[in-house]
Chains A and B, each alone.
Chain A
Amino acid sequence: MNNIRTFWAANKAIISLTIMGLILLFVGMNQSWALALGIFNMSLISAIMALGVNIQWGYAGLFNVGIMGFAALGGVSVVLIAQQPVTEAIDAGGMKMFLALIIGAITIIGGIFLNRSRVNKWLTALLVIIGYLITRHYFSEAADLIEKVDPAITGYLGGFGLPVAFSWIVGGLAAAGAAWWIGKITLGLRTDYLAIATLGISEIILYVIKNEDWFVRGLKNVYGLPRPVPYEVDMQQSEWFQNLIAWVHKSELQLLSQSDQVERLSDYVREAAVVFVKLCYSGLFIAILGAFIILSNLALNSPWGRKVRAIRDNEVAASAMGKNIKRQHLQIFVIGSAIVGVAGALLVTYDGIFIPTAYQPLRFTFLIWVMVILGGSGNNLGSVLGAFIIWFIWIQSGPMGLWVVEMLGNNMQEGGAFLEFIEERVHYLRLVFMGSILLLIMRFSPGGILPEKNKEL
């Protein structure tokens, strides 16, 4: 018994991750491989996001309630970088929009400059307001012009038509920029301010995305984003892939007649193409996640990492040692948000479609939080584990809830209306369920499944 306990304590991470892997294998064998790989890929993306949040929360105790907004910025950058430009829209209103944005930028920079050089405050305010009105005038004209260009299909400026991989970097940079701005204002003040400000900025980012149709089509969504991996249809038609699948199923196919063989083979090829594409994504995400984990573990064990944790554990002492706490916090906040931005871009790349309404605080901000806290804040592997567990629960709890309701329904003779009501609403209980998980872990196991290891002690 004692042996088992020490074995568990020593290999917690490996054991829990293996169990999680076995569960996914089980899903693959019993339900379908495409589903299992889908869960696996989403878990990987969530793990990257959780890693970013873990850097902020686990390393530095910074409270980011705006994960959704940073992920959305990553998503936007996929559209802006990878989509082909819409030339007619650019001809129609591109110049005017450019002008409006330039005037807007001049207004902001001028306002900051005037404020710094201690010109009369009222005069500064007046100039900023005039600048704003001019910007708004050109801006709404340009937006109208752009949105009128074939609104059913485009109605926006499109992107730069660059390879989609660039958008991951740009997504990270965009999120980093937003984080820098927010952090600059709120860090160094109370902890609550950062939380409230991030909550605000994430909602506002989403409002802008949903309402500015000229930008990324607003509520009309952007479909058919380019992919970094081959398409299923191309795979089905390529000869080597067909041969490969034929070779894998050789023994089974030999038993069938010629016509059956062709039919069965095409079925197999179709299924295998889906799995293959998902596997390509898995490889890509594993590589990115691995790189982030290695980098952040190296950073955590460097003098820089020790400084960061020293600040987290005792700000007063660290500041007495001459560490600039605000600067350090800003740095970490920007790095963490950038990783969340990259993950947001990967998510949209994987989906191949940009849907602003898919960004819900529960699905992004809150779920990621639960992942980090369940896995063990401060421990990168913990975040990965947390991501796998929570995403699995999240995906399976919907069907599971319905299944429970149906079981109840089979045993009940009456109350059909009541049952219908529950069936329609049961998914809201996921909010209650996830909230309870968070509170239970915080209360009974604050370290999470894989608590942070403190090497200095």
Chain B
Amino acid sequence: MSDSIDIINALALLTNFVILPGLSYGSQLALGALAVTLVYSILRFSNFAQGDSMAFGTMLVIFLSGYMISQGWTISGVPTALLAIPIAIIGMSIYLLLMDRLVYKHYRGIKIKQSIVGITASIGVMFITGGIVRFFLGASAQRFGDGERFIFSVREFKAFTGLQQGIALKTSQFLTITLAILLVAFLFYFLQKTKTGKAMRAYSDNKELALLSGIDPDRVVRITWLLVALLTTIAGTLYGLDKGFAPQQYHLLLLPIFASVIVGGIGSPIGAIAGAFLVAFSEILLTYAYKKFLIYLLPLSMHPSSLVQLIGTEYKYAISFVILIIVLLIKPTGLFKGKVIVDE
């Protein structure tokens, strides 16, 4: 390692260990947060089952891709999981619609505080879903990605640029960022331009008025669950490809996802995305050990001896919680002015 100041290598280091992981983690959170936002806007409750639903979707992908690999239906270089996603989305849609029919539908018909009954019911669904996933896949962690692991590896990058510090782009990171952009673009187009999307927004803004103008509430709810299935399956699979699949990990994703939604302003899709990246980057920036980064930037005499890590990695979920608390203290409506701050 050189003893002079080396900004380019420092930036390369940061890109590899902070920016790329942050972008992909943020994208995964954003998709999950969008699903929570959709349920919140249309069905008017916070969906506690989101994390476990993501695990359920990923479980479907794991089974399907396992079957496809055993049949030899693969494309070299591409993770088979990617090919399994469309079918898994269909399975996930059926599961969510079934849960809606069996659990949530009843409460929409009666006059009752939707937010509270929704939370209670979704916690019941959360445990049922978690139980099913653990029953079929066990509670231990596993990896299910195949195909090429890297778009370009550290070695290739070093050979190409001649830098001391390499950057690697994992396939999972590339897929995450690309798919997230496509999906978000599709979602916003759908909500802004199509008739169904407009109907959904109208329903979310003012339910009575929407019903009066002839919008079919059952259809709006159905479409919402389909969109949630789409987002949930893809978010879960991408997270699993990136970090491996473990049911407990998915269950705990609930915290950063809720933090993202509330930071952005509950009920606001753009807020959810912004919140997700804020949470993801805070988590990574605060738990990253800056020792090597500072060694590149500081003269030899000032090189740090400790890891220069602000918060231990084991407390990464605490960070989303602290962000949540700070937002509630300073600006409970969130950054992008969520719709409501008190119950209806």
Which residues of A does B touch, CB under 8 Å? 61, 63, 65, 185-186, 189-193, 195-197, 199-201, 203-204, 207, 210-211, 361-362, 366, 369, 373, 424-426, 428-436, 438-439, 442-443
Contacts and interface: CB of A to CB of B under 8 A. Distances in A.
Contact of B103 (A199, A432, A433, A439): A439
A442 B254 contact: no
B267 to A, nearest CB: 11
Interface string B309-322: 00010110110110
Interface string B89-129: 00000000000001100100000010111011101111110
Nearest to B112: A446
Contacts of A189: 328, 332, 341-342
A435 B127 contact: yes
8 tightest A-B contacts by CB?
A431-B131, A435-B128, A435-B127, A432-B131, A200-B321, A428-B134, A439-B124, A192-B46
Interface string B112-155: 01011101110111111011101110110000000000000000
B124 A435 contact: yes
The DSSP consensus for interface residues of chain A is: helix
Contacts of B325: 185, 197
B119 A63 contact: yes
B276 to A, nearest CB: 15
Nearest to B130: A431
B258 interface: yes
A439 B116 CA distance: 14
Interface of B: 45-46, 48, 102-103, 106, 113, 115-117, 119-121, 123-128, 130-132, 134-136, 138-139, 251-252, 254-255, 258-259, 262, 266, 312, 314-315, 317-318, 320-321, 324-325, 328-329, 332, 340-343
B312 A203 contact: no
A196 B324 contact: yes
A190 B255 contact: no
A439 B119 contact: no
Nearest to B321: A200
Given A195-B48, A432-B131, A435-B124, 10 more contacts: A63-B116, A190-B343, A197-B324, A207-B317, A211-B312, A366-B127, A428-B135, A431-B127, A438-B127, A439-B103
B69 to A, nearest CB: 20
B321 A201 contact: yes
Nearest to A132: B310
B252 A200 contact: no
B332 A211 contact: no
Nearest to A441: B124
Contact of B255 (A195, A203, A439): A203
A442 B118 CA distance: 11
B317 A203 contact: yes
Contacts of B127: 362, 366, 431-432, 434-435, 438
Contact of B116 (A186, A191, A436): A191
B5 to A, nearest CB: 23
21 contacts: A190-B342, A191-B116, A192-B266, A195-B48, A197-B328, A199-B254, A211-B315, A361-B251, A425-B135, A431-B128, A432-B135, A433-B131, A434-B127, A435-B124, A435-B127, A438-B123, A438-B127, A439-B121, A439-B125, A442-B117, A442-B121
A189 B138 CA distance: 38
A428 B324 CA distance: 31
Contacts of B255: 199-200, 203
A412 to B, nearest CB: 19
A190 B325 CA distance: 14
A192 B342 contact: no
Contact of B120 (A197, A429, A432, A442): A442
Contact of A196 (B120, B125, B258): B258
B328 A185 contact: yes
A196 B40 CA distance: 14
Contacts of B251: 361
A20 B341 CA distance: 44
Nearest to A211: B314
Contacts of B124: 435-436, 438-439, 442
A185 B329 contact: yes
B125 A435 contact: yes
A256 to B, nearest CB: 51
Contacts of B321: 197, 200-201, 203-204
Given A185-B329, A192-B119, A196-B324, A431 B317 contact: no
